[in-house]
């Protein structure tokens, strides 16, 4: 089993116990990693602090990814506490609810801006902040979470599909920039999982049914299955993997019909 003993990681995107980021936090902490977890705003602080009670000596920090100052403060705190960083998990996405229903052609300029800023640009700014801390460790691993709606049309996924396409492209450009410093950057494209973010997508439950009927494994996936793949990609076991979208979706992406 992948070992994270002595490794330090930053996990961004825990909202509650259903969050994919939380499953990933548990998987890597269970293998020995010490973690910094962020929460977005006071509304989620209590949730994250309560969940983090099962971790050993976690660092809990506020971070709205649209604030450059908060991102900078996260890395100052990690530098002080950890002295470096081995991995970063980016599990953040948001679009205004009204953009995730109805025709994509109605997407507003502001909805587009917010979705791309929170869901895609945040990978760039968070990765940039991590670079000096990862360089201090001789390298690192960055992982983000995406969805097949970046490549194919899913009803109501709308601007989030466009944001995920930008996220995947950003992942590849970052992998190219940072490879010479031994920093790897990858994405997991996960099958649909019932989480807070997913509940914002109109008709989400019907997507689950389509995976049950058409994915090779005849089911969707759970957060623990995504977390197992994430632990691999975040670890030294994946030392030659970068710039990749890794599918954990029961094989759905392989199907034509
Ligand atoms: P989740 O638990 O709701 O996680 C999404 C996280 O993003 C929440 O913690 C959310 O906080 C945070 N966030 C939104 N805006 C933010 C901001 N400005 N600053 C900081 N954090 C912010 O849902 P999830 O399904 O686990 O999503 C995690 C990632 O997996 C997302 O990138 C999602 O697109 C991706 N993904 C999900 C699925 C799925 O079916 N669930 C499939 C493939 C990929 P708030 O609650 O405060 O907004």
- C-alpha to C-alpha distance for 57 and 59, rounded to whole angstroms: 7
Per-residue pLDDT of 179-236, as tens digits, reads 999 999 999 999 999 999 998 888 888 999 999 999 999 999 999 999 999 999 999 9
Tens digit of each residue's pLDDT (9 = 90 or more) over 148-173? 999 999 999 999 999 999 999 999 99
Tokens of 198: 């997913």
**Residue whose token pair is 């006071």:** 42
Q: What is the pTM of this model?
A: 0.98
Q: Is the pLDDT of residue 51 over 80?
A: yes
64 pocket-lining for ligand 1 (C-beta < 6 Å):
yes
Question: Structural domain boundaries of the chain?
Answer: 8-249
Pick from 173, 2, 28, 159: nearest CA to 93: 159
Ligand 1 atom closest to 197 (CA): 3
- Contact of 37 with 61, CB cutoff 8 Å: yes
Ligand 1 lined by 183 (C-beta under 6 Å): no
Q: Which pLDDT value is given to residue 149?
A: 98
pLDDT score recorded for residue 1: 66
121 is catalytic: no
Is 147 a residue of the active site? yes
The helix (H) or strand (E) run that includes residue 204 is helix 204-214
pLDDT at residue 200, as a whole number: 87
Q: According to the model, what pLDDT value does residue 202 have?
A: 85
Q: How far is the CA of 91 from the centre of ligand 1 (A)?
A: 6
| Average pLDDT score, the chain | 97
Q: Which token pair is 235?
A: 């670890």
The number of the ligand 1 atom at minimal distance from the alpha carbon of 190 is: 43
Q: Report domain 8-249's class.
A: alpha beta
What separation in Å is there between the alpha carbon of 123 and the centre of ligand 1?
Answer: 13
Output the CA–CA distances (angstroms, integers) from residue 182 to 91, 123, 223, in the order listed: 22, 18, 28
Q: Which of 147, 173, 211, 247 is catalytic?
A: 147
Dist. CA 20 → ligand 1 center (Å) = 8
Residue 43 pLDDT:
86
Parallel, antiparallel, or unpaired for β 8-12 and 87-90? parallel
Tell me how far the alpha carbon of residue 102 lies from the centroid of ligand 1, in angstroms. Answer: 21
Collect all residues with Cβ–Cβ distance below 8 Å to 162 and sequence separation of at least 6: 112, 115, 116, 150
């Amino acid at each position: 089993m992948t070992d994270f003993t002595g490794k330090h990681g930053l996990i961004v995107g825990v909202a509650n116990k259903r969050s994919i980021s939380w499953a990933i936090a548990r998987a890597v902490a269970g293998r020995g990693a010490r973690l910094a977890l962020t929460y977005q705003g006071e509304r989620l602080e209590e949730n994250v602090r309560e969940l983090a009670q099962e971790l050993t000596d976690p660092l809990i920090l506020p971070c709205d990814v649209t604030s450059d100052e908060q991102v900078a403060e996260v890395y100052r705190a990690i530098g002080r506490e950890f002295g470096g960083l081995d991995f970063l998990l980016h599990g953040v996405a948001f679009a205004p609810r009204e953009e995730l229903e109805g025709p994509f052609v109605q997407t507003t300029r502001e909805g587009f801006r917010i979705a791309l800023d929170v869901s895609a640009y945040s990978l760039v700014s968070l990765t940039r902040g991590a670079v000096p801390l990862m360089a201090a460790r001789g390298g690192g691993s960055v992982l983000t979470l995406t969805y097949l709606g970046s490549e194919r049309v899913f009803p109501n996924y709308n601007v989030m599909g466009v944001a995920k396409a930008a996220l995947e492209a950003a992942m590849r450009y970052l992998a190219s920039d940072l490879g010479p410093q031994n920093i790897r950057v990858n994405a997991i494209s996960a099958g649909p999982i019932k989480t807070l973010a997913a509940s914002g997508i109109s008709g989400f439950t019907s997507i689950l049914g389509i995976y049950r009927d058409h994915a090779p494994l005849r089911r969707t996936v759970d957060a623990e299955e995504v977390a197992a793949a994430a632990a691999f990609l975040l670890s030294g076991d994946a030392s030659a993997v970068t710039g990749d979208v890794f599918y954990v979706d029961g094989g759905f992406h392989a199907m034509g019909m």
